[in-house]
Amino acid sequence: MRRGRRPDGRTIGTISTTLTDTHLEAQALAREFAAGEIAPHAADWNARKHVPVDVMRRMGELGLLAPTIPEEYGGPGLDATSLCLIVEEIARADAGIAVPIAVQAGLVASPLLRAGTDAQKDEWLPRLATGEVMGCYALTEPDAGSDTAALRTRAEADGDGWRITGSKQWISNGSIAEVFIIFARTGGEGARGVSAFVAGGGDGLVVGPEIPKLGLHTSSTVELAFDGMPVPAGAMLGPEGEGLKLALATLDGGRITVAAQACGIAQAAIDLAVEYASGRDAFGGPIARFQGVQFPIADVAAQLEAARLLTLHAASLRDAGQPHGAAGAKAKLVASAVAVKAADVAVQTLGGYGYSGEYAAERLYRDAKITEIYEGTSQIQRLVIARDLFGDAAR
Cβ distance 120 to 109 under 8 Å?
A: no
Point out the catalytic residue in the list 89, 123, 223, 375: 375
Closest by CA position to 97, among listed 133, 130, 71, 60:
60
Q: Which amino acid is at 165?
A: T
Active site residue 375: yes
By residue count, the chain amounts to 395
SS3 201: coil
CA 317 to chain CA mean position, Å: 18
Nearest CA-CA partner of 264 in 172, 135, 360: 360
Please report how the helices 291-319 and 80-93 are oriented relative to each other, as an axis angle in degrees rounded to 10: 150
DSSP of 298-358? HHHHHHHHHHHHHHHHHHHHHHTT---HHHHHHHHHHHHHHHHHHHHHHHHHHTHHHHSTT
Active site residues: 375
